Structure 1
Amino acid sequence: MSEIANTIAALRAALGPDRACDDPQTRELYATDDTPGRCLPEVVLFPHSHSEVQAIVALARRHHLPLVARGAGSGNVGGAQPVPGSAVVSFECMQRILDYVPAERRITVEAGCITGALQAHVERDGLFYPPDPGSSPYCRIGGNLAMNAAGPHAVKYGVTRDYVLGLRAVTGTGETLCTGVRTSKGVVGYDLTRLLVGSEGTLALITEVSLRLLPKPEGRATLRAAFASTASACAAVARIMAQSVTPSALEFMDAHALAAVRGMGAATDLPAASQALLLVEVDGDRATLARQVEAMRSALDGPGLLQCDDAQAPDAIARLWQARKALSPATKAMAPLKINEDVVVPVTQLAALLEAIEAIARKERLQIVSFGHAGNGNLHVNFLVDPSDAGLMARAHEGLRSLFRKVLALGGTLSGEHGIGSVKRDFVSLELSPESLALQRSIRRLFDPDGILNPGKLFPAD
């Protein structure tokens, strides 16, 4: 019997025959995430509890089996892609709500809980879980923690890390680690919770998490503003973020993004001269909404503004958001492959970044569509390419490197919410110093001395 066969037999004994699957169909289903490329795992594991995850890690360490944690596989940087000879640990069978105390605005769930389902559950009690990645109808809380996911409302409410009170996890040595507190304050020891959130499954496998909740806003309103140029839209973003009312969302679309959604039949009511679009949302007490809308209208009003609409009724709000909702399928239809980067710069540098992106597109003869969370300076820069064209892919790679260098020169960072995974790992040394990389690798070895947790991810090859 081969070593891998012995390992799978031991895993079946620990989990049961139906939850350690090495049949070709299951392996093929879990061979990739939402990233191009695939690698067949040796086996796919479906634990039902923290203790079963602990048993998996103990066996994996004994048999030198790499483990790749997986939520819904919705990430697009290869974070949940298997590596050769690995096992995928899928958390989809761990969806229970373990503890829910509305009076304390706190909920504890297993890592496989679907983000949208959690949001719907707490809304019944007038509560609100703010992090809202675009994949929230199907992505899972464990994956959100692994990548420190965000979404449009991060401009006001922050990212996943800001709502994690504490968690339970299994380190690469098979030990249980409980971090954080159940209270709104707590400063005992190092903040291991914040260290694990965003670690992409390289330090420990998160099994349970306690989350902080907020009261649900009573109402919301949306404004949609069309501009004659990218520069005038960016100037409006800077005005919005400099005044006293913080929007709950502030989204940007460039001229190429507008052309894409118009091709899908959306945004047809915008002025023909529109070269950029801003979507602004405010929320809170109904009594304050009118004042907030007026503050946003005042900030949007300036050179280059062509049209500004606002709405508070749900149907009208949905119509204003139609263009943004149509954007992802529209860009995917434009080329065989979309390389989606999520760089971040200070809001005041957004116009400079967009100008640099246009220069990169001209120099490398690339089709690039840009949109994103302007209130955070978080731009999704989409390189639309054909992977069968070697020359085009070489130019795209050069364009990516130029993009990253410009972002860092503007005081930004390589990733705001997608993470690093395997796709961006070779660029990390552009941002992190050798000293920082060495220290972070040392931390990784403390948690996972045998290197079995999500190898080949997050850092460049050592």
Structure 2
Amino acid sequence: MVALPIAFVEELSALLGDGWSASDADRSAHGTDNSRRTALPDAVAKPRTREQVQAIVRACAAHRVPIVARGSGTSSTGAALPTAGGVAVSFERMNRIVDIRAEDRIAIVEPGVLNGELQQALKPHGLFWPPDPASAELCTVGGNLACNAGGPHTVKYGATRDNVLGLSAITGTGDLIHCGSATTKNSTGYDLTHLLIGSEGTLGLIVEATLKLAPLPPHRASLRALYADVASAAAATARIMAQPNTPAMLEFMDSACIKLARDVGGADIPDAGALLMIEADGDAATLPHAVAVLAQAARGAGLLSLDTAPDEIASEKLWAARKALSPALRSIAPGKINEDVVVPVSRIPELVDGIQALAREFDLPIVAFGHAGNGNLHANILYDPDDAGQDARAQAALPRLFALTLELGGTLSGEHGIGLAKRDFMARAYDAPTLAAMRAVKAAFDPNGLLNPGKVLP
């Protein structure tokens, strides 16, 4: 722990009262995340208003104290860890849904609102906010904004960046800026809203967001397609995405995932080379047509079976394999490196083949599943962190996975962000002039380099 300046501590203690703490318990609670890394802050601030956030940032700027914004700590990349110490700014007390304007299909929220709580509040209005990460019941909207979170519905409705109209944020100098508007069309000035989304707290601390909402679909129906191999499933994905009825979800599982879901998770699913889970949504009149069109696109060379679930109860049974997967993964290895790489849909077979080759080379289970319609696959390297050999092999396999992804014209992250886990690979993903432009943007928003230092940029 680094000793913070006495004048700084006195200023923030007076400002925040019980919202300021340097206790071991609070520091520990804000020094870990889902990446299983640890880095403790020197103190924790829990503001209630944007004015308090502004005062915190200005005090930190005056005393050159690093700042890390904090949501629920569900990041798998170490993005919210205070590796340089300083102050962790927790937004747990800034958790108000300020306004729901159903007639404009917008919600105005503070960053500490939980994604799941927002969805429940929107239901009576017949609306939802499309980003639906697996951690939706735990993660905050602010965290979703920070890493441009996605989820299964991204294929139809877009990720976080596609569903935000405006932001208010505090820059590294303590200035309050307003980006975007409450309108769905806006060609006024630079698009700072989309720049801040996905910046992982390195450019500003978001204190309010105007979210774009979508109508809740009245009905859903699902299909499950089994294929002889990954290439057949990828070809089917391309056909599905080429027709006008965009699926609400299009999820992929490789053969290793299928085996795990069946043998460990207890799912009722036969052997196959690959699986696609397809969901359509809409009204009662149009949904049958959408399902028929998607089913036709799913048919083709390599298809082994195609099961249709016409209602939500039947859909739950079809989705059992996907839902059984995560518990199955946890049961076979205590450690998991979960990377969310993205490639063009046409390159999915090469990505999965490469992942299987890495699994053989490093003698570790590596399974792939995820959002096929976006080419966004979660490659899970399973290992025992307490086994020195397995740990070394897992860490050696990771850069090879990223190199494979980039060779296939892909990108390092589709929804988890960069954080610490992928920071040092950014120099492979971007050339020097592009990284220099990113650093120039960082310097403009955060000239003292105090906002989440050491993240994103190598």
Fold equivalence (TM over 0.5)? yes
Q: Percent identity?
A: 51
| 1:324 paired residue among 319, 322, 327 | 322
| 1:385 paired residue among 372, 383, 386 | 383
2:88 alignment partner, SS class:
strand
Q: Deviation per CA, 1:15-39, whole angstroms, max 9, x where unpaired?
A: 11x1111111111111111112211
Per the alignment, residue 408 of structure 2 pairs with 410
| 2:333 paired residue among 332, 335, 338 | 335
Give the Cα separation in 2 of the matches to 1:187 and 1:365: 52
1:124 alignment partner, SS class:
helix
Give the Cα separation in 1 of the matches to 2:404 and 2:294: 30
Tell me the CA shift for residue 218 of structure 1: 2.0
Tell me the CA shift for residue 206 of structure 1: 0.1
TM-score by length of 1: 0.96
Q: Deviation per CA, 1:402-428, whole angstroms, max 9, x where unpaired?
A: 222221121111110000001110111
Aligned positions of 1:49-64 closer than 5 A: 49-64=49-64
For 2:13, give the aligned amino acid: R
Per the alignment, residue 174 of structure 2 pairs with 174
Q: Deviation per CA, 1:343-382, whole angstroms, max 9, x where unpaired?
A: 1011111111111111122222221011000010000001
Give the Cα separation in 2 of the matches to 1:71 and 1:370: 28
Per the alignment, residue 279 of structure 1 pairs with 277
Per the alignment, residue 45 of structure 2 pairs with 45
Aligned positions of 1:54-93 closer than 5 A: 54-93=54-93
Per the alignment, residue 96 of structure 1 pairs with 96
Q: Deviation per CA, 1:195-232, whole angstroms, max 9, x where unpaired?
A: 00000000000000001112221211111122232222
Alpha carbons 2:152, 2:250 under 8 Å: kept: yes
Q: Deviation per CA, 1:99-125, whole angstroms, max 9, x where unpaired?
A: 221111111011111111112212211
Q: Deviation per CA, 1:115-146, whole angstroms, max 9, x where unpaired?
A: 11112212211122111111111211111000
Give the Cα separation in 1 of the matches to 2:194 and 2:154: 17
For 1:190, give the aligned amino acid: Y
Give the Cα separation in 2 of the matches to 1:141 and 1:291: 35
1:286 alignment partner, SS class:
coil
Is structure 2 residue 5 aligned with structure 1 residue 7? no
Alpha carbons 2:40, 2:81 under 8 Å: kept: no
Tell me the CA shift for residue 2 of structure 1: 5.1
Alpha carbons 2:4, 2:42 under 8 Å: kept: no
Alpha carbons 2:224, 2:278 under 8 Å: kept: yes
Alpha carbons 1:8, 1:43 under 8 Å: kept: no
- Count of aligned positions: 457
Q: 1:260 to 1:4 in 2, by over 3 A?
A: farther
Aligned positions of 1:231-246 closer than 5 A: 231-246=231-246
Tell me the CA shift for residue 41 of structure 1: 1.3
Q: Deviation per CA, 1:52-104, whole angstroms, max 9, x where unpaired?
A: 10011011111221111111111100001122422111111111122221111
Alpha carbons 2:384, 2:390 under 8 Å: kept: yes
Per the alignment, residue 187 of structure 2 pairs with 187
Give the Cα separation in 1 of the matches to 2:3 and 2:39: 20
Give the Cα separation in 2 of the matches to 1:390 and 1:216: 49
Give the Cα separation in 1 of the matches to 2:265 and 2:39: 37
Range with bigger deviation, 295-304 or 423-432: 295-304
Per the alignment, residue 30 of structure 1 pairs with 30
Tell me the CA shift for residue 49 of structure 1: 0.8
Give the Cα separation in 2 of the matches to 1:261 and 1:408: 29
For 2:166, give the aligned amino acid: G
| 1:350 paired residue among 348, 351, 354 | 348
Alpha carbons 1:169, 1:207 under 8 Å: kept: yes
2:277 alignment partner, SS class:
strand
Tell me the CA shift for residue 451 of structure 1: 1.0
Give the Cα separation in 2 of the matches to 1:265 and 1:144: 29
Range with bigger deviation, 219-228 or 382-391: 382-391
Per the alignment, residue 136 of structure 1 pairs with 136
Q: 1:307 to 1:43 in 2, by over 3 A?
A: same
Give the Cα separation in 2 of the matches to 1:262 and 1:86: 47
Q: Deviation per CA, 1:123-176, whole angstroms, max 9, x where unpaired?
A: 211122111111111211111000000000111111111111111010000000
Give the Cα separation in 2 of the matches to 1:322 and 1:21: 44
Q: Deviation per CA, 1:297-340, whole angstroms, max 9, x where unpaired?
A: 11222233222222233222222112212222221222121001
Tell me the CA shift for residue 258 of structure 1: 1.6
TM-score by length of 2: 0.96
Per the alignment, residue 251 of structure 1 pairs with 251
Give the Cα separation in 2 of the matches to 1:358 and 1:265: 21
Per the alignment, residue 367 of structure 1 pairs with 365
Give the Cα separation in 2 of the matches to 1:185 and 1:243: 27
Alpha carbons 1:168, 1:178 under 8 Å: kept: yes
Give the Cα separation in 2 of the matches to 1:392 and 1:264: 22
Alpha carbons 2:265, 2:325 under 8 Å: kept: no
For 2:88, give the aligned amino acid: V
Is structure 2 residue 117 aligned with structure 1 residue 117? yes
1:287 alignment partner, SS class:
coil
For 1:129, give the aligned amino acid: W
For 1:176, give the aligned amino acid: L
Give the Cα separation in 2 of the matches to 1:33 and 1:184: 34
2:386 alignment partner, SS class:
coil
Give the Cα separation in 1 of the matches to 2:156 and 2:396: 35
Alpha carbons 2:223, 2:278 under 8 Å: kept: yes
Range with bigger deviation, 400-409 or 198-207: 400-409
Tell me the CA shift for residue 5 of structure 1: 4.6
Alpha carbons 1:38, 1:81 under 8 Å: kept: yes
Give the Cα separation in 2 of the matches to 1:410 and 1:456: 28
Is structure 2 residue 205 aligned with structure 1 residue 214? no
Give the Cα separation in 1 of the matches to 2:56 and 2:81: 18
Give the Cα separation in 2 of the matches to 1:4 and 1:334: 48
For 2:199, give the aligned amino acid: S
Aligned-residue CA RMSD in angstroms?
Answer: 1.6
Give the Cα separation in 1 of the matches to 2:84 and 2:66: 9
Structure 2 unpaired stretches of 5+ = none
Give the Cα separation in 2 of the matches to 1:3 and 1:451: 18
